[in-house]
Structure 1
Amino acid sequence: MSEREILSQYVYKMVASLIQNGVKDVVISPGSRSTPLAYAFASTKKIKTYRQVDERSAAFFALGIAKAKGRPVVLLCTSGTAAANYYPAIVEAKYARIPLIVITADRPHELREVGAPQAINQIRLYGEQVKWSVEFPIPDEAPQTLPFIERHIVRGVTIAKTCPFGPVHFNVPFREPLLIDFQEELVEGNFKSSFTGQLVPSKAATDMFTATINETMKGFVIIGELALGTDLQQLWSFIRKLKWPVLIESLSNMRGNVPDDCEQYIISTYDAILKNKAFKEKVIPDTVIRFGAQPVSKFLSIFLTESMPKNYIVIDEDPMFRDSTAVSTHFIHANIGSWLKDLQIENTIDFGYFAEWQKAEKIARKHIQCYTEVETDEGAIVRNIIENLPNKSDLFVSSSMPIRDIDTFLLPTEKDLQVFANRGANGIDGVMSTALGFSQGRNDREMFLLIGDLAFLHDVNALIATRYQQCRITVIVLNNDGGGIFSYLSQSTVEQYYEDLFGTPTALQFEEVAKMYDMEYVQIKDLNEFGKFLDSEREKPLRLVEIFTDRGQNVTAHRNLWQRISEELEQ
């Protein structure tokens, strides 16, 4: 065979193996060395191709698609610093447990470390941030080459989607010439499929779990952000059976579409009520059970470390279970599944203890529901946004203050509202890109992004993706001219350096950005205007809503709310 025929067979074998193992989406950034694979993906009808010229943004875009669809997404780029630009999103994918198949094209071995252009050391480039990394062979006629490719792709995809989900890396070197012969039909590989199993706890684990529950009079459940594909009905069934207070984070997506018979158990205002010392002393638990990641709330973490419950049971699909508080006493390695239904649970919870949680929740909800401080306060704005979002909406939320305000002001609702964020590494980078990618995977729902001005600026290149594929999203920018969260932290007390190092005002507004990307733009100055805007006829698929707020007023208003809740808790 000619070199071109060998290369063509090689890249189409890669694409066929990926498709055969359930991959349906690929995000491609332009570059010369990745040409053979880019052609193979683009010419294959069984895989959907997305484009983004900025590799850093492309990686978060792919992460968003994978987060929305709950299955691996391929990333493809050329060699050199293009591959390095994937790094932030790969870090997020690892800690957020998102399956990505990262393919970096590379120079051949003879061009490495000899001063060749766009040639860096890409072997294990991402270190421990990926679950697995492999160097592919140069395309050749050796009989072992194609079977190697096929089986290593099976291994990589399987590893990416085995609990805990995460990224894997294929480094693929190519020699020139880089053109291929296009093929209309893919040849199915000899390796047919790879099956993985569900993680079910052992009998010893369920016996311990059941016995602990049945011996507990004072306990509560924490539900944080859950693994992709979690069956929420299994948790609702468990809550009905257990009848304990359940502290539900907004990212669990169990505050929306709440079953009527479970609403009484939900504690959604825990961050506010756990600021009160007297209340905390009344609800010290014997047992805490946690599903999912540790919630955003700092005050919940403080309460756990102060109360040191006798039993703190973490259920996690990763043996490297998450426990930043160092309070856990038991770990169960398992998925959330039907095994929860089989537990023989007796209702032993102390009614007076439960009543304290319910009373505090009622007080906090009352204050939050009637919360309107000033027009430029982000808390009141976020509450108004939540109330006006239509049914069947997805809300992607930036880290920093937006996610904290959502966690405070999103109360349990019958509305089908789901909330998502990049909380693996908790960064503000890549938020726009992730949200745009997420919108591609959930195009049957209305998509919104809530983001601050600095996070928006940090990732404004994300909007380049809207020039290459259809996107439909409403971006809501809370513009407080800087880093709002630092106003709540001790850094704000050092006035001499605060604005230069932490406040970092830019004095920028974003109407011209909206024009650049053909977005419908509106500036909201009154709380009632947002609802009217949503009720009006949509002019364009892309919308940018800019709301100006004041950092100083935000802090005062939030603290006033917490103070009012605390004062009533002590009555």
Structure 2
Amino acid sequence: MSEREILTHYVYKMVASLIQNGVQDVVISPGSRSTPLAYAFASTKNVKTYRQVDERSAAFFALGLAKAKNQPVALLCTSGTAAANYYPAIVEAKYARVPLIVLTADRPHELREVGAPQAINQIRLYGEHVKWSADFPIPDEAPQTLPFIERHIARGVNIAKTSPYGPIHFNVPFREPLLIEFQEELPVGTFKSSYSSDLVPSKEAENLLAATINETRKGFIIIGELALGTDLKYLWSFIRKLQWPVLVESLSNLRTNVPEDCEQYIISTYDALLKSKAFKENVVADTVIRFGAQPVSKFLTIFLTETMPKDFIVIDEDPMFRDSTAVSTHFIHASIGSWLETTLQIENTLDFHYLTHWQKGEEIARKHIQTHVEIESDEGAIVRKIIESLPYKSDLFVSSSMPIRDIDTFLLPTDKDLQVFANRGANGIDGVMSTALGFSHGRCDREMYLLIGDLAFLHDVNALIATRYQQCKITVIVLNNDGGGIFSYLSQSTVEQYYEDLFGTPTALQFEEVAKMYDMEYVQIKDFNELDKFFDNERQKPLRLVEIYTDRGQNVKSHKNLWQRIHAELEQ
């Protein structure tokens, strides 16, 4: 065979194997060395391609797409620093447990470490931030090469989508020439299929959990951000059966679509409640059970470390279970599934007065949060108004820093079909726009909104380049307080010297021209009373940018006023 024929068979075998193992989408950034694979993907009908010229943004776009679809997404770039630009999103995918299949084209072995252009050391480039990494052989006629490729792809994709999900990396070297013969039919593989099983606890673990629950008089459940694809019906069934207070983070999506018979057990205002010393003294628990990641709330973390429950059971799909508080006493290796309702034999032995104390606190906090909109005009009131006004069947992607904290405070339980998502693996503000755009493509049947601060928006404004290559539909809501608002709540704000230069970091930028550049409908809101003009107007274009001006100082004052009102009534 000619070199071109060999290369053609090689790249189409890769594409066929990726599709066979469940990859339906690929995000491609342009580059020379990745040409053969880019051609193979683009000419294959069974895979959907997305384009983004900025590799850093492309990787976050793929991350968002994988989060939305709960499926592995491939990501392709050329050699050199293009691959390094994937790193931030790969770190997020690692800690957020998102399945990415990272394909980096590379120079052939003879051009590595000899001063060849656009050649860096790409072997295990991402270190321990990927679940697995493999350096592929150069395309050749050896009979072992294609079977090796086929089975390594099966291994890699299945590693990526085995609990806990995560990214894997294939480094693929190519020699020139880089052109292939286009083919309409993909090759038939010799490797047929692979199967994985549900991750269920051992009988011993089930017995321990049941015995602990049945002996508990004071206890609560914590539910943080859950693994992709979690079926929430099993948690609702568990909550009905247990009838304990359930501290539900906004990212768990158990504050929305709440069944009527479970609503009384949902504690959504725990962050505000646990700022009160008097309240904390009455809700010390003997037993805590946590599903998912540790919630955003700093005050919940402090409460757990101060009280050290006798039994703290973490249920997680990863043997490297998450416990930043170092208070866990037991770990159960399992995914959330039918075992919670079919095999777990439990009874409700909880102290009624303990449950009532949580419920009364929740009632008080909800009342003040609901009326916050009427007496304040800070970012918290804006967030509450946005939540109330979003249409049914909406997705809200939220930036880290203050937006996610305001969502966690102001999103109260509702039967509304609203779901909330964020990048909380590494908790960074980078790549938020790109992730949200990718996410919007994975859930096209829902309205997509992004809530983001001005610095996070500036950090990832290149994300909007993707809208030039594929149709996107999203409303971006920028809370522009001219700087880093979260630092106003931290100890750095007490040191006036250098505060604005190092932490506030104002830019004095406005974003109307950005909207014009990308043909976005632009809405500017300078007064709280103008919010209705955003919600009352029909969308004019698929892309919409809403810029809301706020004041950092007012935000801190208004938030503190809310907490004081809640605490004053709690302590009566």
TM range (shorter): over 0.9
| Within-5 A mapping of 1:158-307 | 158-307=158-307
User: Residue 373 of structure 2 contacts residue 385 of structure 2 at CA under 8 Å; is this kept in 1?
Assistant: no
Q: Does 2:558 align with 1:557?
A: yes
Task: Give, in angstroms, the shift of residue 373 of structure 1.
Answer: 7.0
Task: Give, in angstroms, the shift of residue 404 of structure 1.
Answer: 0.1
| Within-5 A mapping of 1:135-174 | 135-174=135-174
| Within-5 A mapping of 1:327-366 | 327-341=327-341, 342-366=343-367
Distance in 2 (CA, whole Å) between partners of 1:376 and 1:544 is 21
Distance in 2 (CA, whole Å) between partners of 1:520 and 1:367 is 35
One-letter amino acid of the structure 2 residue matched with residue 253 of structure 1? N
Deviation by residue 1:234-284 (Cα, 9 ceiling, x = unmatched): 000000000000000000001111000000000000000000001101010
Distance in 2 (CA, whole Å) between partners of 1:29 and 1:453 is 27
Task: Give, in angstroms, the shift of residue 371 of structure 1.
Answer: 0.2
Q: Does 2:28 align with 1:22?
A: no
User: Residue 199 of structure 2 contacts residue 333 of structure 2 at CA under 8 Å; is this kept in 1?
Assistant: yes
Distance in 2 (CA, whole Å) between partners of 1:257 and 1:531 is 25
Task: Give, in angstroms, the shift of residue 414 of structure 1.
Answer: 1.0
User: Residue 499 of structure 1 contacts residue 505 of structure 1 at CA under 8 Å; is this kept in 2?
Assistant: yes
| Within-5 A mapping of 1:390-409 | 390-409=391-410
Distance in 2 (CA, whole Å) between partners of 1:230 and 1:192 is 27
One-letter amino acid of the structure 2 residue matched with residue 525 of structure 1? K
Q: Secondary structure at the match of 2:441?
A: helix
Deviation by residue 1:361-410 (Cα, 9 ceiling, x = unmatched): 00000000000377651011101100100000000000000000000000
Deviation by residue 1:307-359 (Cα, 9 ceiling, x = unmatched): 10000000000000000000000000000001011211111000001110000
Aligned to 1:325: 325
Distance in 1 (CA, whole Å) between partners of 2:448 and 2:71 is 20
User: Residue 221 of structure 1 contacts residue 244 of structure 1 at CA under 8 Å; is this kept in 2?
Assistant: yes
Aligned to 1:487: 488
The 1:477–1:375 alpha-carbon spacing in structure 2 relative to 1, beyond 3 Å, is farther
One-letter amino acid of the structure 2 residue matched with residue 188 of structure 1? V
One-letter amino acid of the structure 2 residue matched with residue 475 of structure 1? V
One-letter amino acid of the structure 1 residue matched with residue 218 of structure 2? K
Distance in 2 (CA, whole Å) between partners of 1:34 and 1:346 is 59
Distance in 1 (CA, whole Å) between partners of 2:220 and 2:403 is 26
TM-score by length of 2: 0.99
User: Residue 384 of structure 1 contacts residue 527 of structure 1 at CA under 8 Å; is this kept in 2?
Assistant: no
User: Residue 376 of structure 2 contacts residue 558 of structure 2 at CA under 8 Å; is this kept in 1?
Assistant: no
User: Residue 130 of structure 1 contacts residue 166 of structure 1 at CA under 8 Å; is this kept in 2?
Assistant: yes
One-letter amino acid of the structure 2 residue matched with residue 201 of structure 1? P
Deviation by residue 1:460-479 (Cα, 9 ceiling, x = unmatched): 00000000001000000000
One-letter amino acid of the structure 2 residue matched with residue 271 of structure 1? D
Task: Give, in angstroms, the shift of residue 534 of structure 1.
Answer: 2.8
Aligned to 2:477: 476
One-letter amino acid of the structure 2 residue matched with residue 517 of structure 1? Y
Q: Secondary structure at the match of 1:370?
A: helix
One-letter amino acid of the structure 1 residue matched with residue 479 of structure 2? L
Count of matched residue pairs: 571
Distance in 2 (CA, whole Å) between partners of 1:373 and 1:491 is 31
Distance in 1 (CA, whole Å) between partners of 2:46 and 2:22 is 10
One-letter amino acid of the structure 1 residue matched with residue 549 of structure 2? F
Task: Give, in angstroms, the shift of residue 526 of structure 1.
Answer: 3.6
Deviation by residue 1:272-308 (Cα, 9 ceiling, x = unmatched): 0000001101010000000000000000000000110
One-letter amino acid of the structure 2 residue matched with residue 132 of structure 1? W
User: Residue 99 of structure 1 contacts residue 161 of structure 1 at CA under 8 Å; is this kept in 2?
Assistant: yes
Distance in 2 (CA, whole Å) between partners of 1:292 and 1:505 is 36
Distance in 2 (CA, whole Å) between partners of 1:483 and 1:210 is 46
Q: Does 2:67 align with 1:55?
A: no
Distance in 2 (CA, whole Å) between partners of 1:457 and 1:536 is 26
User: Residue 521 of structure 1 contacts residue 543 of structure 1 at CA under 8 Å; is this kept in 2?
Assistant: yes
User: Residue 375 of structure 1 contacts residue 526 of structure 1 at CA under 8 Å; is this kept in 2?
Assistant: no
Aligned to 1:513: 514
Task: Give, in angstroms, the shift of residue 188 of structure 1.
Answer: 1.9
Distance in 1 (CA, whole Å) between partners of 2:305 and 2:365 is 23
| Within-5 A mapping of 1:34-53 | 34-53=34-53
The 1:4–1:374 alpha-carbon spacing in structure 2 relative to 1, beyond 3 Å, is farther
Distance in 1 (CA, whole Å) between partners of 2:241 and 2:145 is 55
Distance in 1 (CA, whole Å) between partners of 2:212 and 2:547 is 50
Which stretch of the first structure deviates more once superposed, 543-552 or 529-538?
529-538
Q: Secondary structure at the match of 1:290?
A: strand
Distance in 1 (CA, whole Å) between partners of 2:260 and 2:3 is 66
Deviation by residue 1:472-493 (Cα, 9 ceiling, x = unmatched): 0000000000000000000011
Deviation by residue 1:174-197 (Cα, 9 ceiling, x = unmatched): 000000000000012110111111
User: Residue 221 of structure 1 contacts residue 247 of structure 1 at CA under 8 Å; is this kept in 2?
Assistant: yes
Task: Give, in angstroms, the shift of residue 532 of structure 1.
Answer: 3.7
One-letter amino acid of the structure 2 residue matched with residue 559 of structure 1? K
Aligned to 1:466: 467
Aligned to 1:536: 537
Percent same amino acid at aligned positions? 85
User: Residue 245 of structure 1 contacts residue 266 of structure 1 at CA under 8 Å; is this kept in 2?
Assistant: yes
One-letter amino acid of the structure 2 residue matched with residue 421 of structure 1? A
User: Residue 64 of structure 1 contacts residue 435 of structure 1 at CA under 8 Å; is this kept in 2?
Assistant: yes
Distance in 2 (CA, whole Å) between partners of 1:302 and 1:188 is 57
Could you list the runs of 5+ residues in structure 1 that have no partner in the other structure?
A: none
